[in-house]
Amino acid sequence: MSAPPPPAAVAPAAPPQQAPFPLTFTVHATWNKARVATLSLPHNPRCRTPMFMPVGTQGAIKGLTAQQMEDLDVDLILGNTYFLSLRPGGEAMEKLGGLHKFASWRRAMLTDSGGFQMVSLLDLSELTEEGVSFISPVDGTRMLLTPEKSIQIQNQIGADVMMALDDVVSSLTTGPRVEEAMHRTIRWLDRCYAAHKRPTEQNLFAIVQGGLDPRLRTMCMAEMKKRDGHIPGYAIGGLSGGEDKNLFWRVVHQCTSELPQNKPRYLMGVGYPLDLLVCSALGVDMFDCVYPCRTARFGTALADCPGGVIHLRSDKFALSKEPIDAQCHCMVCHEYTMGRLHQLACHEGGAELITMHNIAYQMRHMQRIRDAIKGGTFPDLVRYFIRTLHPKGDLPTWAKDALEAAGLPDLGLEELRQMAPPKEIPTPVQEEAKDDDEE
């Protein structure tokens, strides 16, 4: 029998005093658990939540410039600490003035801790209590990533939001390894905060672990809430790895119900439009995922249509004179037909153009969610979305159950199938953009 995992680090007997974080989180409107807020960060005081954050592994979105991302009204993008530590390296980042200057990005940034590479690079990693050792996929050298090293690199990168290094296991893992990872995540969290050298300039979020076990999730959150005075925001980690969606949404619902209400909640690795809608209803504020960019490289565009995607490599679009979405205001939909995009996707690339559209779609999708919450019309938006993407009434059971748990009444799918389509897609209300010259 294996030895039980060591206990989590013991928090101070009295809760620590609330720190003066370089972050404010102001809720403006709610609809049951769903909420609209402004997240004020050093490089962008007007981040609008719920928000989707595109992933730029090297601090930039493949094929797009920083100005194009600003034109798409992206509030915050992600960088990958592990890969940035390999190229160009933390010291180089610091000498170059941080990732913002290096990438010419004037709005907010978030860096992950490198913990996810324990799953994505499992065959190249080795875990101990000290940290995780990786074999570089670039040059084969070995690197030991400890909580202290992760925070040192993230301090050098200079992102507005940093993530604590956690012990990440696949969401399909069961048994004692999940509890071991949860306890180690707490111990590493304390080491991360002790190593954080720029607490008045950068926000260090904690990551809730515990797999699909509600008991372990509650234990993890209870330990983190003892440290709430040091924690400006919380992430829900360890999901979106192929687990049963009936278990996925229940973990999200549990975490948003038990985490502090006055702090932002970030659901890591989630980006399908249906998931964004459902999890916003469950009270999540921040999302990230490679999905809109990665699927673009396979010629797939996101759209309000049955199934939610258009496969532009299909021969049926070869002679199409229509845009991807006539209601979309992005440059791609204004200047390119699906026929041209079909040609590019099949023979000459086109990934950059489809990526641009897909990010524009995600931004518009989140804007509609925010508008509906503020306007008290969130159930109408949900019904519209279901009718458009699932016109045959084939909404997954997990999504229906999650929406009901979030306070939505019976969605009447049989009735929705018989309704005429709307005359036009609801147009989002344009929110005031940040004046970047303020920086």
Q: What pLDDT shows up at residue 18?
A: 58
Contacts of 431 (CB under 8 A, 6+ apart): 48, 367, 370
Angle at the Cα of 61 from the Cα atoms of 59 and 67, rounded to 5 degrees: 95
CA-based Rg of the chain, rounded to a whole angstrom?
A: 22
Q: Which of 75, 190, 228, 288 is catalytic?
A: 288
Q: Is 112 a catalytic residue?
A: yes
Tell me whether residue 327 is annotated as binding. no
213 neighbors 186 (Cβ within 8 angstroms): no
Q: Would you state the pLDDT for residue 123?
A: 60
| Whole-angstrom distance, CA of residue 205 vs CA of residue 200 | 14
**Using 50, 70 and 90 to split pLDDT, how confident is the model at 116?**
low
Q: What is the pLDDT of residue 3?
A: 46
User: What integer is the mean pLDDT of 279-295?
Assistant: 97
pLDDT at 12 > cutoff 90: no
Ligand-binding site membership of 328 (annotated)? yes
Does 152 fall in a domain? yes
Residue 237, C-beta contacts closer than 8 angstroms, at least 6 positions apart: 115, 166, 168, 207, 208, 209, 268
Identify the domain containing residue 125 by its residue range. 24-290
Task: Look at the alpha carbons of 329, 331, 336, 338 in this order and tell me if their dihedral is positive or negative.
Answer: negative
Residue range 316-321: mean pLDDT, rounded: 98
Residue with tokens 């590019």: 344
Number of structural domains (the chain) is 1
Residues 6+ apart with CB under 8 A from 109: 43, 59, 76, 77, 78, 79, 99, 100, 157, 158, 159, 160, 161
Cα 22 to Cα 30: distance, rounded to the nearest angstrom = 24
288 is catalytic: yes
113 annotated to a ligand binding site: yes
Q: Which helix (H) or strand (E) holds 110?
A: strand 108-111
Closest CA to 165 of 178, 152, 151, 144: 151
Q: Residue 192, annotated ligand binder?
A: no
Distance between CA atoms of 12 and 356, rounded to whole angstroms?
Answer: 48
Confirm whether residue 346 is marked as ligand binding.
no
Q: Is the pLDDT of residue 124 over 80?
A: no
Confidence of residue 113 (pLDDT cuts 50, 70, 90): confident
Confidence tier at 137 by pLDDT (50, 70, 90)? confident
Annotation-wise, does 255 bind a ligand?
no
The first and second tokens of residue 412, run together, are: 């009447």
Unique residue bearing structure tokens 């619902």: 253
86 or 91, greater pLDDT = 91
Residue 120 has pLDDT above 60, yes or no: no
392 vs 52: CA distance, rounded Å: 28
Mean pLDDT over the full length of the chain = 89
Is 238 among the annotated ligand-binding positions? yes
Annotated binding residue at 209?
A: yes
Residue-wise pLDDT for 153-166, tens only, equals: 999 999 999 999 99
pLDDT confidence tier of residue 119, bands split at 50, 70 and 90? low
- Count other C-beta atoms under 10 Å from residue 368's C-beta: 22
Q: Which of 40-54, 82-96, 328-342, 346-360 has the lowest mean pLDDT?
A: 82-96
Residue 58 or residue 308, greater confidence: 308
In a domain, 395, yes or no: no
- For residue 385, the tally of other CB atoms under 10 A from its CB is 22
Dihedral pair phi/psi, residue 122, rounded to 5°: -55, -40
pLDDT for the residue 237: 96
Q: Is residue 198 part of a domain?
A: yes
Cis peptide before 5 (omega within 30 of 0): no
- Over residues 103-111, the mean pLDDT reads 96
- Smallest CA-to-CA distance from 165 within 115, 124, 116 is with 115
Task: Determine the pLDDT at residue 35.
Answer: 98
Is residue 143, in this structure, part of any structural domain at all? yes
For the chain, what percent of residues have pLDDT higher than 70? Answer: 87
**Confidence band (pLDDT; 50, 70, 90) for 101?**
very high
C-alpha dihedral sign at 275, 40, 12, 8 = positive
394 is in an annotated binding site: no
Around Cβ 437, how many Cβ atoms within 10 Å? 6
DSSP 210-254: -TT-HHHHHHHHHHHHHTGGG-S-EEE-S-SSS--HHHHHHHHHH
Please report, for residues 88, 142, 164, 171, the alpha-carbon distance to residue 139 in angstroms, rounded to integers and kept in the order given: 13, 9, 26, 29
Answer left, alpha or beta for residue 140, where phi above 0 means left and psi between -120 and 50 means alpha.
Answer: left
* Of residues 88, 79, 150, 84, the one with CA closest to residue 109: 79
Report the CATH number at residue 226: 3.20.20.105
Using the predicted structure, report yes or no on whether residue 421 has a pLDDT greater than 80. no
* Whether residue 186 has pLDDT greater than 50: yes
Q: Does residue 289 have a known ligand-binding role?
A: no
Q: Is position 303 within any domain?
A: no
The pLDDT confidence band at residue 121, using thresholds 50, 70 and 90, is low
For 337-396, write each residue's pLDDT tens digit: 999 999 999 997 899 999 999 999 999 999 999 999 999 999 999 999 999 999 998 999
Question: Which is catalytic among the residues 112, 160, 167, 190?
Answer: 112
Between β-strands 108-111 and 76-79, what pairing exists: parallel, antiparallel or unpaired?
parallel
Any domain includes 6: no
Closest to 283 in 3D by CA, of 9, 62, 32: 32
Per-residue pLDDT, 16:
46
Angle at 187 between CA 183 and CA 192, to 5 degrees: 140
Residue with the bigger pLDDT between 405 and 12: it is 405
Looking up tokens 């996810």 gives: 116
Segment 237-285, tens digit of pLDDT: 999 999 999 999 999 999 999 999 999 999 999 999 999 999 999 999 9
Closest CA to 279 of 303, 249, 318, 316: 249
pLDDT value at residue 415: 54
Any domain includes 90 = yes
Would 375 be classed as within a structural domain?
Answer: no
Strands (E), 112-269: 125-127, 132-135, 142-145, 161-163, 203-208, 234-236, 265-267
pLDDT higher than 60, residue 423 = no
